[in-house]
Amino acid sequence: MKIIIDDAVSFAEEAFSQFGEVELKPGREITNSRCKSADALITRSITDVNETLLAGTKVKFVGTATIGTDHIDLNYLKKKGISFASAAGCNADAVAEYFFVALFELLIKYGLQISDLTLGVVGCGNIGSRVVRFGEAAGFNVLVNDPPLKRKTGSSRFLKLDDVLQSDIITFHVPLNIGGADNTYHLIEESKLKLIKDGAIIINAARGPVIDNSDLMKYIQLRRFKTVLDVWESEPNINVGLLQLTEFGTPHIAGYSYEGKVNGTKMIYDAFCNYLDAPKTWTPVLTSVEKNLKVIEEDLPLENSLHTIFSSIYDIKNDDKDIRTIANIPNSKRSFHFDKLRKNYNLRREFSNYNINLIKKNDELEKVLNAFRFNVMS
């Protein structure tokens, strides 16, 4: 058996070599000719898996070690009887943590207080539900939009999109659906951007085309939106002009935690074992985190305490600085640079790895930190 795997999949050889020959390739170099002799294919998000890629091959299993499936032609796989598995939810905590790291940078920069702010969450699946839970624990007034869940549950918790867009902070955690009742392609375009209040915070770590990037570029300037973008239309060829208008920009790495990537591999490994009716004998061993103790000595406002802790674990300003170098690179090489930033990314560790020592007892802060999965000592 031959298995072609994106070389960005963590522990790929260790996990899958027991089944046969493993060939690692960069995601954009996985082509039809390379797949001709493959029995299985395991990708990440930058490989389009469709008839063009798989026609004439003997691939019978496809796995994506990512949460999204917009790069997968599911109808084609079904028509051809090709088994499929995704890693939905594998990096949900990582993306939620990325959102709050970015948000608290802006709260401190602009002197904003949680008690004055409404947080609007568009999409309440694996990631969005975590954002809701963490946000409510921190004290935000949280509004939620999710039409599929509204239909399924009938709950009054789920509001119309136009209502949620009235929030002070708006974050997107939806899949990219092109067409249909739950279309999310250009879900946010000029008519929706007009509804958003001046100076609102907009953060997108879902998929780039969820927001019309051209319209967003216009309205950032018209309405003074404070914008954080991890995802972009036409990746890896991103709009550098839009990047320069953001508060923070990053190269589609919101979910790039060590735990998230390993979770993705393990989920696809388990699915492949099920496909082969083989025993699950591989369990990843994660490295421990050095310097995992954070000591908080001062009794600061909640916003400042959380910002201090979050930024000591993940400094989003470093990623922002790295991606902005793309403006100094010739157009022909910008796509390569974007991919390189992702491929060589220094995977961060999730909050659950860290111990927080509160020198001064603070019940409110301790409760919030526990909700964010920190181990609190006081």
CATH superfamily of 2-86+257-276: NAD(P)-binding Rossmann-like Domain (3.40.50.720)
CATH superfamily of 293-377: Erythronate-4-phosphate dehydrogenase, dimerisation domain (3.30.1370.170)
Q: Angle at which helices 126-138 and 92-110 pack, to 10 degrees?
A: 40
- Per the CB < 8 A criterion, the answer to whether 53 and 73 are in contact is no
pLDDT in tens, 111-123: 999 999 999 999 9
- Per the CB < 8 A criterion, the answer to whether 206 and 173 are in contact is yes
| Domain residue spans of the chain | 2-86+257-276, 92-249, 293-377
Confidence of residue 87 (pLDDT cuts 50, 70, 90): very high
Q: φ and ψ at 45, to 5 degrees?
A: -80, -15
Confidence of residue 68 (pLDDT cuts 50, 70, 90): confident
Classify each residue of 167-183 as buried b or exposed e, where b means 16 or more C-beta atoms within 10 Å of its C-beta.
Answer: bbbbbbbbbbbeeeeee
Distance CA 233, CA 13 (A): 32
- Per the CB < 8 A criterion, the answer to whether 316 and 335 are in contact is no
Structure tokens at 364: 């409110």
Predicted confidence at residue 206, as pLDDT, reads 97
Summarize the chain as % helix, strand, coil (round to 5): 45, 15, 40
Structure tokens at 94: 């990582």
Residues 6+ apart with CB under 8 A from 193: 215, 216, 218, 219, 223
Residues that are catalytic: 207, 235, 252
- Per the CB < 8 A criterion, the answer to whether 262 and 9 are in contact is no
One DSSP character per residue, 182-251 reads T--TTSB-HHHHTTSPTT-EEEE-S-GGGB-HHHHHHHHHHH--EEEES--TTTTS--HHHHHHSSEE-S
Distance CA 58, CA 37 (A): 7
CATH superfamily of 92-249: NAD(P)-binding Rossmann-like Domain (3.40.50.720)
**CATH topology agreement for domains 2-86+257-276 and 92-249:** yes
- pTM equals 0.94
pLDDT mean over 342-347: 94
pLDDT mean over 142-164: 98
pLDDT mean over 130-155: 98
